């Protein structure tokens, strides 16, 4: 076998795309409050599961979880974003952000997200491009950004899914897409699920999406 052929085959093996994992989360059957509160995206049980599955790393103290509730992407968005810190009291460097993106804050299907089509905006830019660059600067290498959002209904266009545009924008800012978690708004009972949609969700929305991204620092 020639050297060039070996290199070609080796490159093909290294860069063959693999499907990313998708996980379904359901509340416990006895969960008293299985749906998110009005104005939020994730129910309390899902946030606690995030703390269980993502803040604990082998040989390290549990990482604090900083939750941002992003109401919009207009100029000055950072000043209007409420922040809650979940921690067990152990001092630790910030390595995890959870951003709840309410559907009303998401771009319309016809909007073009800066940075999602080859542009390279900076952290001072407004909108989603600037948000992702600022989040990237806050996190260390391999720090996690978790995006929580859900679909919305725009006029007569049906339900629209913002994930593709948001992930593309995050990748431009220096994040790697790791996992998609589906947080079901349903209550398990015996051998079936009873839908429990959020009170402020659009008709037909029965789950929220949690996207896990890792910060890359060259």
> What is the DSSP-derived secondary structure letter of residue 193?
E
Give the separation between CA 35 and CA 55, rounded to whole angstroms: 22
Integer Cα distance of 27 and 48 in angstroms: 11
Yes or no: say if 158 and 188 are a contact pair by the CB < 8 Å rule. no
Instruction: Quote the pLDDT of residue 8.
Output: 41
Q: Which tokens hold the place of 148?
A: 């929580």
Which neighbouring-strand residues pair with 152?
160
List the chain pLDDT tens, one digit each, 218 residues.
444 444 444 443 443 445 556 889 998 888 878 888 888 899 999 999 999 888 877 767 778 899 999 888 888 888 888 888 888 776 667 889 999 998 777 765 545 554 443 344 454 467 888 899 999 999 999 999 999 998 877 666 677 777 888 898 899 999 999 999 999 988 877 788 888 888 888 888 888 999 999 999 87
Per-residue pLDDT, 91: 62
Long-range pairs of 32-38 with CB within 8 A, sequence gap ≥ 24: 34/185, 34/186, 34/187, 34/196, 35/185, 35/196, 35/197, 35/198, 35/199, 36/185, 36/198, 36/208, 38/198, 38/199, 38/200
Its pTM stands at 0.79
Predicted local confidence at residue 35, as pLDDT: 84
């Amino acid at each position: 076998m020639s050297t060039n052929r070996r290199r070609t085959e080796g490159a093909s093996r290294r860069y063959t795309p693999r499907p990313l994992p998708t996980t379904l989360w359901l509340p416990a059957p006895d969960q008293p409050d299985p749906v998110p509160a009005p104005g939020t995206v994730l129910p309390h049980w899902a946030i606690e599961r995030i703390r269980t599955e993502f803040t604990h790393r082998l040989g390290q103290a549990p990482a604090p979880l900083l939750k941002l509730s992003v109401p919009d992407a207009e100029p000055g968005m950072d000043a209007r974003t409420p922040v809650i810190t979940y921690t067990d009291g152990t001092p630790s460097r910030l390595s995890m952000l959870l951003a709840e993106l309410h559907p009303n804050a998401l771009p319309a299907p016809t909007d073009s997200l800066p940075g999602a089509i080859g542009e390279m905006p900076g952290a001072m830019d407004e909108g989603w491009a600037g948000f992702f660059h600022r989040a990237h600067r806050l996190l260390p290498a391999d720090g996690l950004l978790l995006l929580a959002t859900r679909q919305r209904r725009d006029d007569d266009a049906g339900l629209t899914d913002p994930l593709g545009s948001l992930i593309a924008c995050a990748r431009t800012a220096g994040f790697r897409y790791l996992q998609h978690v589906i947080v079901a708004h349903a209550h398990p009972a015996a051998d079936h699920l009873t839908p429990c949609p959020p009170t402020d969700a659009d008709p037909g929305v029965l789950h929220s999406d949690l996207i896990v991204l890792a910060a890359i620092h060259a």
